[in-house]
Structure 1
Amino acid sequence: MTRSVLLVSNAQTEQQATVVERTAKKLLARGLHPLLESIELARISKLGVDLNGVGEFIDQSIEIGIVLGGDGSILRAAELLRNQEAPILGVNTGHVGFMAEAELDALASVMDRVAARDYEVGHRSALEVEVYQAGELAFSSWAMNEVTVEKSARERMLELVVEVDRRPLSSFGCDGVLVSTPTGSTAYAFSAGGPVVWPDVDALLVVPLSAHSLFARPLVLGSATHLAFEVLKRSPGNGVLWCDGRRTFDLGPGARIEVRQSDKQVRMVLLSDDPFTDRLVRKFNLPVTGWRGPEESK
């Protein structure tokens, strides 16, 4: 039985393309069949690397998705594998690569573990979003990191009302509002001033973006919460919905956006049981010099 592996990369240079080539050859040597999207296959081939033996991904059944890049490429892999059970393994070739499980210098040993199926699979929550206009469903999608409602024009403020579990909470003029999963709390939500939420916390995070209101603070809500946002008809500007910065939909006055936790999680490969705290320290280069630890551990 063919063991197909989806490779996801955003290789734009010969050096980046060489990483894809190296990974593909390591997979082939271990009896696995690497696949690339057609557009990526064509782009990387033009960079002069050898992709002999690499197939084209159409919609085949995949054993695992391997991402060679940063968090943006992981979001792309999650999109491609949304309707499959294949887990995603991130190998960081970028700068931070917060969601990546491995670094490039461990590529050979990581491929050994992939071939041996020597890994655990964890689950990350996702969001479902629906947009209603004039009472009719106009758009539906999902997100792994965050759903954002933002103003579509820089000079026009967006007026929204926030609803929690079918009850109005507050309204304000703003640049927008963001709903994040714990995974997304270290992405856009973090940049917007939201708290870091540990991935084992089952919660939703709401972060207003430059809101003109005293009660425009980040909120941490239960995972069963049903959120909604309405673009007020008096709003001076229109809005735009973004899902993970990848899927988008235009919002007019009166649009209603409903967001809830998805029943379908994203499967992620785990290679170690290192605590999330250590990842934060490592990825953000946090100062911990002088820490002595609890006395009982000495």
Structure 2
Amino acid sequence: MFKPEPFVTRVAFTASDRPEAQDARARLVKRYGEAPEREAQVIIALGGDGFMLETLHKHIPDCPPIYGMNRGSVGFLMNEYSEDDLLERVNAAERALIYPLRMRARDMAGQTHDALAINEVSLLRQTRQTAKLRISIDDKVRLAELFCDGALVATPAGSTAYNLSAHGPIIPLDARVLALTPISAFRPRRWRGALLPHTAKVAFEILEADKRPVSAVADNLEVRDVLSVDVAEDRSIGLTMLFDAGRSLEERVLAEQFSA
């Protein structure tokens, strides 16, 4: 795991393909200079939330702290963009330590796919047929049959993303729980999901997979035609994001619970 240094003077800049992000990178490099990524104490990511996730994934497992500034569409995980006092902001920033989910998916061809997810692992139906899932927690079947469009397991950091859109709960960052949330559950219709301890091992079995094909997605990596999917938090990998003082990720997640 990356060990932070006491005072940040060496930063590297990375930007999404959006013109405004590329322009911002050029101006910031000219103003502050730039260290090679392998020598940087902090990486400045310029883009939206998707680019922040992409940057975190790129640098696993030895990921230095990432300080994002919004030059994209959605900026929940990003700080407000400003070119002034950048090093002062970075050094005064509050740290959010997050742990990813590890997905292991087995497909109909017999192949096994491993991937990490910072926000969520989601299972989604591939055709007009509803998905039919069996869900086990720590090797005990908790839901023998779930007819649905899909289901997901979200981290606290990801609980305000797809999980929230699927009517899942918002989770405080330090709650040490995971959200298990159905997507458009048809039967049992009233099941709204569960909050699980962060140590829980979630296993999905796809029933009638030939008739009801399902894909598994870990953030932005998709595996199609899966037969089973195992999901668990990986505490061996810690990722650090930096947020301006008074605008921590914990504060944003709390405020989101009171938003209209």
Instruction: Give the TM-score normalised by the residue count of structure 2.
Output: 0.84
CA separation in 2, counterparts of 1:226 and 1:189? 18
Q: CA deviation at 1:210?
A: 1.0
Identify if the C-alpha distance between structure 1 residues 177 and 282 changes in structure 2 by more than 3 Å, giving closer, same or farther. Answer: closer
Q: Give the corresponding residue for 1:222.
A: 197
CA separation in 2, counterparts of 1:62 and 1:33? 6
Residues 27 and 33 in structure 1, CA contact (< 8 A), matched pair in contact too: no
- In the TM superposition, what are the counterparts of 1:22-101 in structure 2 within 5 Å? 22-28=27-33, 32-33=34-35, 60-100=38-78
CA separation in 2, counterparts of 1:282 and 1:194? 16
Q: Give the corresponding residue for 1:150.
A: 124
- What are the superposed Cα offsets for residues 108-156 of structure 1, whole Å, 9 maximum, x if unpaired? 2123444xx5545331121011113579661101100000111112x12
SS state at 1:77 partner: helix
Residues 161 and 231 in structure 1, CA contact (< 8 A), matched pair in contact too: yes
- In the TM superposition, what are the counterparts of 1:94-109 in structure 2 within 5 Å? 94-100=72-78, 102-105=79-82, 107-109=83-85
- In the TM superposition, what are the counterparts of 1:129-140 in structure 2 within 5 Å? 129-133=103-107, 138-140=112-114
SS state at 2:173 partner: coil
Residues 203 and 229 in structure 2, CA contact (< 8 A), matched pair in contact too: yes
The unaligned stretches of length 5 or more in structure 2 are: 1-8
Q: Give the corresponding residue for 1:256.
A: 228
Alignment partner of 2:14 out of 5, 8, 17? 8
Identify if the C-alpha distance between structure 1 residues 210 and 68 changes in structure 2 by more than 3 Å, giving closer, same or farther. Answer: same
Q: CA RMSD in A?
A: 2.7
SS state at 1:131 partner: strand
Q: CA deviation at 1:273?
A: 4.5
Is 1:271–2:244 an aligned residue pair?
yes
- What are the superposed Cα offsets for residues 26-59 of structure 1, whole Å, 9 maximum, x if unpaired? 231xxx3266xxxxxxxxxxxxxxxxxxxxxxxx
Q: Give the corresponding residue for 2:98.
A: 124
Q: Where is the helix percentage greater, Structure 1 or Structure 2? A: 1
Q: CA deviation at 1:162?
A: 0.7
Q: CA deviation at 1:169?
A: 1.1
Residues 121 and 267 in structure 1, CA contact (< 8 A), matched pair in contact too: yes
Higher mean Cα deviation, 235-244 or 272-281?
272-281
Residues 204 and 221 in structure 1, CA contact (< 8 A), matched pair in contact too: yes
| Paired letter, 1:257 | V
CA separation in 1, counterparts of 2:134 and 2:126? 17
Q: CA deviation at 1:270?
A: 3.8
CA separation in 2, counterparts of 1:237 and 1:267? 39
Higher mean Cα deviation, 128-137 or 139-148?
128-137
SS state at 1:21 partner: helix
Alignment partner of 2:26 out of 5, 15, 21? 21
CA separation in 1, counterparts of 2:62 and 2:40? 7
CA separation in 2, counterparts of 1:136 and 1:4? 46
User: Percent of aligned positions with the same letter in both sequences?
Assistant: 24
- In the TM superposition, what are the counterparts of 1:153-172 in structure 2 within 5 Å? 153=127, 155-170=128-143, 171-172=145-146
Which fold has the larger relative contact order, with Cα–Cα distance below 8 Å and residues 6 or more apart in sequence?
2
The unaligned stretches of length 5 or more in structure 1 are: 36-59, 288-298
Q: CA deviation at 1:239?
A: 1.1
